[in-house]
Amino acid sequence: MKNAELLNNVLNVMVRYAKWFILVAVVAVLCSGIIFVQPDEVAIIVRLGKVVGDTPAEMIKQPGLHFAFPYVIDRVIKVPVGKVKEMAISTLYSPGELAYTTEYYGVGKYSNTLYSYGGDVGDMATTGYAITGDDNIILIDAVVKYKIKDALSYALNIENPDKTIEGIVTGVLAKCIRNSSVDSVLTDKKVMLAEQVTSESQAIFDDIGLGVQINNLEFKTVAPPLAVDEAFDNVITASIEKETMIQNANRYTETTLPAATAQAE
């Protein structure tokens, strides 16, 4: 008799708590449909595989509170359209052997040499690097900055947009470097190279409907591998000395020739 009463009490307690559990679960499911869109983003609601809304304006939910069905029915995609996103382009610059970069500020004047970790060009299976038009190996570490200009295209057209951006920019960068000399890449053509990569990458983005606008491309490191750094340093030094000698010769010509002409007259 006592066992029966104990079992009955246990069942009553379980039923009572089960009701509360079910109630909490129902409330949680209902609340999961309440979404808050931040000021720098928009949201897209996909209901059973179809975007909610008849026009692009209705499909894109602006910042504020919105309601969607529970997760099993609706999928909410938030797109940070107000942020400038950054992505590292380091496929052509893998961690490994020590490399160097020297920033020059004019003929004969340069800053301290900046050391960073580049790639070991001996291990081609695991190391990233680029080859210039004159068949030199170069290591490049860059950052691309971009904004999302079309939330629908960004969220729905490409399965993995960030990976696509990285792949396209890396490919265009490698191609542009292949069409450039090592001297131009290491010295005064970096800005032109960045502009070319940006322009060509943007054209591909627009062609595939990625919905992204590139702001700019910045080079963090452009350097030869450590194994050949001394040779590159000698070439750069010789180039600076050449420019210095040319300027000195021009100055000598500008001062001596007029004096000799005047004396002859």
> Mean pLDDT lowest for which of 12-26, 157-171, 179-193, 229-243?
12-26
Does the pLDDT at position 55 exceed 80?
yes
Length of the chain, in residues: 265
Does the pLDDT at position 122 exceed 50?
no
- The distance from CA 158 to its chain's CA centroid, rounded to whole angstroms, is 17
pLDDT at 200: 96
Model pTM above 0.85: no
Does the pLDDT at position 90 exceed 90?
no
Please give, one letter per residue, the 3-state secondary structure of the chain: CHHHHHHHHHHHHHHHHHHHHHHHHHHHHHHCCEEEECCCCEEEEEECCEECCCCHHHHEECCEEEECCCCCCEEEEEECCCCCEEEEECCCCCCCCEEEEEEECCCCCEEEEEEEECCCCCCCCCCCCEECCCCCEEEEEEEEEEEECCHHHHHHCCCCHHHHHHHHHHHHHHHHHHCCCHHHHHCCCHHHHHHHHHHHHHHHHHHHCCCEEEEEEEEEEEECCHHHHHHHHHHHHHHHHHHHHHHHHHHHHHHHHHHHHHHHC
Find the mean pLDDT for residues 17-32: 60
Q: Are 160 and 256 in contact (CB under 8 A)?
A: no
**Pairing verdict, β 50-51 and 60-61:** unpaired
Q: Are 148 and 156 in contact (CB under 8 A)?
A: no
Please name every residue paired with 88 in a beta bridge, in sequence order, or none if there are none: 143
Does the pLDDT at position 26 exceed 70?
no
pLDDT band for 19, please (50, 70, 90 cuts). Answer: low
Find the mean pLDDT for residues 146-156: 93
Determine the Cα–Cα distance for residues 84 and 114; give it in Å rounded to an integer.
28
> Mean pLDDT lowest for which of 1-15, 187-201, 207-221?
1-15
Give the pLDDT confidence of 136-148 residue by residue, as tens digits: 888 888 999 999 9
Determine the Cα–Cα distance for residues 38 and 114; give it in Å rounded to an integer.
40
What tokens does 97 get? 């052997």
Does the pLDDT at position 256 exceed 70?
yes
Give the pLDDT confidence of 166-176 residue by residue, as tens digits: 999 999 999 99
